[in-house]
Amino acid sequence: MLFKYLLSRKSWEHSRQQAAAPGSGMTPIFSQMSDNSAWIKDALGAPTDLVIRTFTIGQAAHPCTVVCIDGLVDKVTIYEELIKPLLVYFSDYGITSMDEFAKQVASVIVANLDTEASRTLEDAVNTVLAGNCVLFIDGLAQMFSIDSQGWKSRGIEEPQTESVIRGPHEGFIEDLRSNTALLRRRLRDPRLRLRTYKLGLRSKRQVVLAYIEDIIQPEIVQEADRRLNSISIDDIAGSATVEHWIADSFLSPFPLISNTERPDKVSGALLQGRAAILVDGDPFVLILPISFVSNIHSPEDFYQNWLISTLTRVLRVFSGFIATFLPALYIALLEYHHGMIPSKLAFSIAGSREGVPFPAVVEAFMMETTLELLREAGVRLPKAIGQTIGIVGGLVIGEAAVTAGIVSPVMVIVVAVTAIASFSFPSYSFAISLRMIRFAIMIAAAAFGLYGIILAFIMISIHFVNLRSFGIPYSAPAAPFFAKDMKDTVVRAPLTFMEERPETMKPLDTKRLKKEGR
């Protein structure tokens, strides 16, 4: 028995070497069905979740094999839409030739499932790992790849990071096809293109580039395609991996590609002439290119009156300045520019700081660092107690620090207002960038006072105007100046006034509002 096994194994190995295309790295499918199953089993390391089922069809009891991975496929679909129809159809069918038999099998399968024929075993392995099944027929050097994905996924829920009061409460999930369906449902445009990639040298994760063909500038699609094809890494862990790889500058703290969980935000971006990248297994969708003003826009702005939306955007910009410069301004005034503080306020601050052993900059760093620790702890803790820990911890630590005379009450107020202002931004990534810059500006204020703050502001502005997002200036439409695009920046004009798409994006179809007589 051992000699027979070794002889058969050696014969199979020899036939596999003979069948492999020289120099191509592709192994043609064997005509013997058992050889194909053994090749796949050997390639995958004989895993316990690999399912190989053999059944016979026709009066001649011709053997067929279905190969799939348990947990990735829908077993009911495989039986009801594949195996059962084959058994019923060929119950009275006599096999005349393999070619005719293959055509009959294909016609039965295609009537129920999406099917694709292939002639390499590498394709068979990739098909099985993607959550589909493959069908082998004994005597036929060809396989049928059958769409039978059926893994579990969570239902469509409201996005946790971008909740709105008015507007749709549905968000993307981890299933790629569900996400593309959400886009299709909102954009029933035949010119919506979904270009699919398989990225990751080992993971072969599906990535989709979405855009509207007659709106977007072709150079943006070409550049996005080039950068996506340049990704060479074992696994695309999620949209963050793609974002970090294809972003224009990895040294900038500001996000050059936006991410969102909201289908309405993505559809709105596509209609402006932008592109979106969807990654299988990640609910966050990337939007590109973007500019600075994209970070202060919320989907809710277009569900409210234009006056209300404009007011909220102005508040966001104002809160951005508070979150970035308020602690540094307090340090500069307290340490260098006492004369700029009104007398009564100066006396009040001096009285509250009596007995505090540290300078203002040390106070600010202590409180800001404590606040960041509480914020990080609140994120990592379970939701039921995370928010409570953040609020109660801040109050207790702040009160205890003031009572102990370590920090002044005014500094606690400054830090608290700064934290509240940083939460007003719809873009979480941009808010984190402001938190990082805040510490650098505090150091500049401690070293040079107001001159340091002004110098830091100039450096940030220079950095802004030099940034690009897929060729689009990050500071647009302010620099370079596009007068027409100013209708949807900090000020949101009425919808009837926004007749054209953003000039910054150079769209092919510039009109988005068609009035009568035009």
| 226 or 117, which is more confident | 226
Q: pLDDT tens for residues 65-99?
A: 999 998 888 888 888 888 888 888 777 666 667 77
> Which pLDDT does position 258 carry in this prediction?
93
Q: What is the pTM of this model?
A: 0.82
- Tokens standing for residue 333: 């005034």
Q: pLDDT tens for residues 297-349?
A: 888 888 888 999 999 999 999 999 999 999 999 999 988 888 888 888 888 88
Tell me if 243 sits within 8 A of 310, measured CB to CB: no
Q: How confident is the model at residue 15 (pLDDT cuts 50, 70, 90)?
A: very low
The percent of residues above 70 in pLDDT, for the chain, comes to 91
> Which pLDDT does position 90 carry in this prediction?
78
> Which pLDDT does position 300 carry in this prediction?
85
Provide the β-strand partners of residue 133.
146
261 burial (CB, 10 Å; 0-12 / 13-18 / 19+) is buried
Question: What dihedral angle (degrees, nearest 10) is formed by the CA atoms of 313, 315, 319, 320?
Answer: 20
> Which pLDDT does position 387 carry in this prediction?
64
Residue 246 region by backbone torsions, left for phi larger than 0, else alpha for psi between -120 and 50, else beta = alpha
Q: Is the dihedral of CA 194, 267, 173, 148 positive or negative?
A: negative
